[in-house]
Amino acid sequence: MKEISGLRNMTLSELVGEIDSNRQQGNLSSAIRLFVLDYFKSRAGSGGRRAARAEGAQRSAAGAVNDCIRE
């Protein structure tokens, strides 16, 4: 949570207050756990797409180099 609050330029207390005010039901500790889980799941998902795009770009660059060598 310290990492998330730091990235959002807010204190840990402000982050907990935001989570508390946005929760629909249940207790605060459950809402915090779900918030952190969702944060890291979405971060892992976007990182996976970024890595796939980077790998595709590397393959394209390697293909272009190979084409130049063949010519």
- Confidence grade of residue 57 (pLDDT, cut at 50, 70, 90): low
Nearest Cα to Cα of residue 32 among 15, 9, 44, 46: 15
Considering the chain, what is the average pLDDT of its residues?
78
Q: What pLDDT was estimated at residue 49?
A: 57
Three-state DSSP state, 23: coil
pTM for this entry: 0.60
- Number of structural domains the chain divides into: 1
12-22 and 28-70 helices cross at what angle (nearest 10)?
A: 110
Domain enclosing residue 29, as ranges? 2-70
